[in-house]
Amino acid sequence: MSLYTDLKFQQNCANCPIHYRAICAMCEPDELRLLEDIKFYRSFEAGQTVIWAGDRMNFVASVVTGVATLTKTMEDGRTQMVGLMLPSDFVGRPGRDTTPYNVTAVTDLLMCCFRKKEFEAMMVRTPHIAHRLLAMTLDDLDAAREWMLLLGRKTAREKIASLLGIIARRDAELTKAVAARSIAFDLPLTRTAMADYLGLTLETVSRQITALRNDRVIVLQGLRHVIVPDLRRLIAEAGSDDVMEMHS
């Protein structure tokens, strides 16, 4: 059973950790106050489904903390991970009644939600929100095209480095450590999930992570904590600089 529960606390939009890059990033103070009136928070435990593909979605939301996956189930039952939702990413599409993907919490997840009908009405009255949504949608399109390149042309080592680079970059942006050369973060995906997302085998993922560790491109502490001594070197291992812009 999904928690799908309104949290007791209310967080001020102006002090939100994702405010500067979320859907509300371009809003003026008076517009933020309007958003406050239609927002609420929902939390999900790791492994819980936020929404199933094809279900009606009566809200849209920004990921505040945690990570979710987008998956698509084919007619024969096979499931493919098609995207990651990281902090500040936007879930749902105004004007669309249902969602085409399953959205599942990978870690404990906190989402800042907006009632859909009110949000759609506010988009008409508030160009800043409409403009920001358009920009984020175009960024998603660019990221999808880059991901096609990654899956189709990059080596296994480059794929792993690209995924680690995306997660490291987002973590650095949220902690305002973008200019830092060394970055540390907790990897939100299991190696099995990484293999599914990248179209690799589990053995290949483990082998390439070990190789990156042995070459000192990354340092591992435990199973999930990753230290990147030099982010530029990790990006170079990804095969291009494009990963720096993906999911931005």
The pLDDT tens digits of the residues spanning 170-182 come to 877 776 655 567 8
- Is 80 exceeded by the pLDDT of residue 152? no
pLDDT at 153: 79
- Is 90 exceeded by the pLDDT of residue 15? no
- Is 70 exceeded by the pLDDT of residue 12? no
- Structure-model confidence comparison of residues 18 and 217, the more confident one: 217
**Domains contained in the chain, CATH given:** 5-146 (2.60.120.10), 155-244 (1.10.10.10)
- Is 80 exceeded by the pLDDT of residue 148? no
Average pLDDT, the chain: 83
Percent of the chain clearing pLDDT 70 (strictly above): 88
- Is 90 exceeded by the pLDDT of residue 35? no
- Is 90 exceeded by the pLDDT of residue 95? no
Task: Kindly report, residue by residue over 215-237, the tens digit of the pLDDT.
Answer: 999 999 987 899 999 988 998 99
- Is 80 exceeded by the pLDDT of residue 198? yes
Q: How confident is the model at residue 68 (pLDDT cuts 50, 70, 90)?
A: very high
pLDDT at 216: 95
- Is 90 exceeded by the pLDDT of residue 125? no
pLDDT at 244: 45
pLDDT at 164: 92
Q: How confident is the model at residue 1 (pLDDT cuts 50, 70, 90)?
A: very low
Percent of the chain clearing pLDDT 90 (strictly above): 34
Tokens of 217: 């491109």
